Structure 1
Amino acid sequence: MNRQLRLHPRQVEAFRGIMLTGSITLAAQMMNVTQPAVSRLIRDFEIAVDLRLFDRDGRRLVARAEAIRLYREVERFYLGLDHIGAIADDIRGSRGLRLRIAAMPALAASCLPEILSRLMGAQPDVSVVFDVESTDHICDMITNHHYDLGFVFGSPRHAGLPAQPLATTHAVVAMRRDHPLAALSGITPRDLVAYRLLLPGRKTPVRQSFDTILAQAGLSPATLMETSMANCCGFAARGDGIAISDPVTVAERGELVSRPLTPEIEISYVAIRPPQARACCWPTRSLTRRKPGLG
């Protein structure tokens, strides 16, 4: 017998936030609420849908297969809402410009809030939609004209996207302060392979470069986990392994320390626009040997 679900939009938003960021902390920042509030929303959401969506290990939430299947439907729902909203804004075009922006979690949590605040202060008639998404998702949405501007890792994987490099840095190795490798000033692949490695997905430029380095050295990790960079740092902070990440993402986790990786893997932060759009011209910065951040 079917029963009617009593879902609250904030429950769905909390679920989506955790699935996007892999972190209750980052999901709470996205929603501008406290971490306990997000935990309550997720608990109520599981009750409403009558599904166990996450495995709990202390303060850690690990998405189950049910959560992954449900998340696909949630994303379709949000895409439909964005499309309806865009059409409505086109109808109300005389009310001012609507700017749709997306950024990966590392930049969304660091420098972009200040940049957007300045933009809205200088342009009070501009309405802004600001979403936090993965690099792959932003590229897809930019290609289909659902965003006007995206901030991502590396160069876009889709041909024809106008792109402007913003800053460059190098990948680092992140770990808890009490990890044995934290005593080293620099780390090589041979130092890493005895530990569980927390790595970004195989299609990411960082992972591809790292796999090439391992292959050239004839090395392979004892164990590994593939996930987003934000998740890599989250698991590293819990002592579940050592992460290969960008320094901006690591800087968001105060319990982690980072060490340079040799050979170096260059990381670029890029602004992308929809096809046929004119690329913006911003100066490119280097973050090497500087405090992580774009500001």
Structure 2
Amino acid sequence: MTTPYLDTRQLEAFVAVISIGSMTGAARALGRSQPVVTRLIQDLEAELGFPLLHRNGPRISPTQQGVAFHEQAELILGGLRTLSERARGIAEAAPLPVAIAALPSLGSSIVPRALAGLPTGALPGRIHLRSAPAETIVQAVADRTADIGLTSLPLDNPGVEVHWTAEVPCVAVVARGHRLAAHAQISPADLAQERLIASHNPYRLRLAIDQALAAFDVAPPALIDSNSSTVSIALAREGLGVAVVESLTVTGLPVADVAVLPFSFRIPFRFGMITAAGRPLSPLVERLVGDLRDQAARLPGFRALNDGDAAKVAEIAP
């Protein structure tokens, strides 16, 4: 790279092309001509030193490097938008916006309840609630583009402060017509002949699932892995197997035509709340630290964890 900073116009053009799928659509959304958008992305590629897009006539798709860079570009642009809003709020002496980055299961369960419980007038004019993978949440908080992060364990990053950690049990989800739907609970033996639908990340929830089944010497004969609990539930609803998901997901967004069943053994989903290390908390964020924990404590099977558990990979609770 020949300059220390990238041009935000180039980043906006690239993100718009990936989001919309064409140069023409991106140009229309940005209010620029197609040649200008094309040139901005070409200049960005030259600046970065690697191609971002595969070009095949009118068809455009990101390269592998483009996919990786897109996530970072979105994070940077989101932070700049938040910074701009805060600058306007400072100038106008208005309540500052709050940015929350959360796993989908946490963003659809305890976050809405905590926000709804705030006193009248306590909510700022703008709230950014972004669902993202765990790694992206930690990075956003460490980079101070998010005020609050709600993510799964482990949490071991010097750039963030862990305020509290907790766990809730996972549950099994099956189609209403599934042979296990009438069971009071699901045992390890019940899973021995079933296709498992579970998280694909081997270092977080999936590790807890694998450890729990290994403790009973159970190895399901088939697997569908997914990066979304809602997708896992949708797959289970179609009779494709038994989904193992955080109980948070079905608490926040109940799904029809499925049976949600407890396990006879515990598979913990561990999560916590973080803010940027060394950053003073606004009164609203300070309040939300406690309110979000209070909402989590109302979840079935909630357990508070010790501070030392924050840095650990998920382990099976005794």
TM-score of the alignment, normalized to the shorter chain, above 0.5: yes
CA offsets 1:52-74 (integer angstroms, 9 cap, x no match): x9xxxxxxxxxxxx798775454
CA distance in 2, matches of 1:71, 1:168: 32
What SS class does the counterpart of residue 174 from structure 2 fall into? strand
User: CA 1:223–1:248 in structure 2 vs 1: closer, same or farther (change >3 Å)?
Assistant: same
Contact 1:187 1:259 in 2 (8 A): yes
User: CA 1:120–1:146 in structure 2 vs 1: closer, same or farther (change >3 Å)?
Assistant: farther
Contact 1:169 1:286 in 2 (8 A): no
User: CA 1:4–1:214 in structure 2 vs 1: closer, same or farther (change >3 Å)?
Assistant: closer
Who is 2:278 aligned against? 276
Q: Compute the displacement of 1:243 (Å).
A: 0.7
Contact 2:98 2:124 in 1 (8 A): no
User: CA 1:257–1:125 in structure 2 vs 1: closer, same or farther (change >3 Å)?
Assistant: closer
Query: Unmatched 5+ residue regions in structure 2?
Result: 1-21, 31-56, 303-318
Contact 2:192 2:221 in 1 (8 A): yes
Q: How does 1:36-47 map to 2 (within 5 A)?
A: none
Q: Compute the displacement of 1:83 (Å).
A: 2.9
CA distance in 2, matches of 1:230, 1:107: 12
Who is 1:50 aligned against? 59
What SS class does the counterpart of residue 276 from structure 2 fall into? coil
Query: Unmatched 5+ residue regions in structure 1?
Result: 11-47, 54-65, 291-295
Contact 1:171 1:265 in 2 (8 A): yes
What SS class does the counterpart of residue 115 from structure 1 fall into? helix
Q: Compute the displacement of 1:201 (Å).
A: 2.7
Contact 1:237 1:256 in 2 (8 A): yes
Contact 1:167 1:287 in 2 (8 A): no
What SS class does the counterpart of residue 269 from structure 2 fall into? strand
After TM superposition, the structure 1 stretch with the greater mean CA deviation from structure 2, 243-252 or 162-171, is: 162-171
Q: Compute the displacement of 1:6 (Å).
A: 1.8
What amino acid is aligned across from residue 232 of structure 1 in structure 2?
S
What SS class does the counterpart of residue 220 from structure 1 fall into? coil
Who is 1:189 aligned against? 188
What amino acid is aligned across from residue 260 of structure 1 in structure 2?
P
After TM superposition, the structure 1 stretch with the greater mean CA deviation from structure 2, 210-219 or 70-79, is: 70-79
Identity, in percent, stands at: 20
Asked whether 1:91 is paired with 2:87, we answer yes
Q: Compute the displacement of 1:161 (Å).
A: 2.7
What amino acid is aligned across from residue 89 of structure 1 in structure 2?
E
Asked whether 1:128 is paired with 2:127, we answer yes
Q: Compute the displacement of 1:244 (Å).
A: 0.6
Asked whether 1:285 is paired with 2:297, we answer yes
CA RMSD of aligned residues (A): 3.3
Who is 1:80 aligned against? 76
Asked whether 1:232 is paired with 2:246, we answer no
CA distance in 1, matches of 2:84, 2:211: 48
After TM superposition, the structure 1 stretch with the greater mean CA deviation from structure 2, 87-96 or 222-231, is: 87-96
After TM superposition, the structure 1 stretch with the greater mean CA deviation from structure 2, 254-263 or 81-90, is: 81-90
Contact 1:199 1:226 in 2 (8 A): yes
Larger radius of gyration: 2
Q: Compute the displacement of 1:103 (Å).
A: 1.8
Contact 2:197 2:241 in 1 (8 A): yes
CA distance in 1, matches of 2:189, 2:64: 35
Q: Compute the displacement of 1:4 (Å).
A: 4.1
What amino acid is aligned across from residue 91 of structure 2 in structure 1?
S
Q: How many residues align?
A: 238
User: CA 1:120–1:238 in structure 2 vs 1: closer, same or farther (change >3 Å)?
Assistant: farther
CA distance in 1, matches of 2:265, 2:152: 19
Q: How does 1:156-167 map to 2 (within 5 A)?
A: 156-159=155-158, 161-165=160-164
TM-score with structure 1 setting the length: 0.67
TM-score with structure 2 setting the length: 0.63
CA offsets 1:166-219 (integer angstroms, 9 cap, x no match): 764211111111111112211122211311111113435432122112223222
Who is 1:16 aligned against? none
Q: Compute the displacement of 1:148 (Å).
A: 0.6
Who is 1:247 aligned against? 247
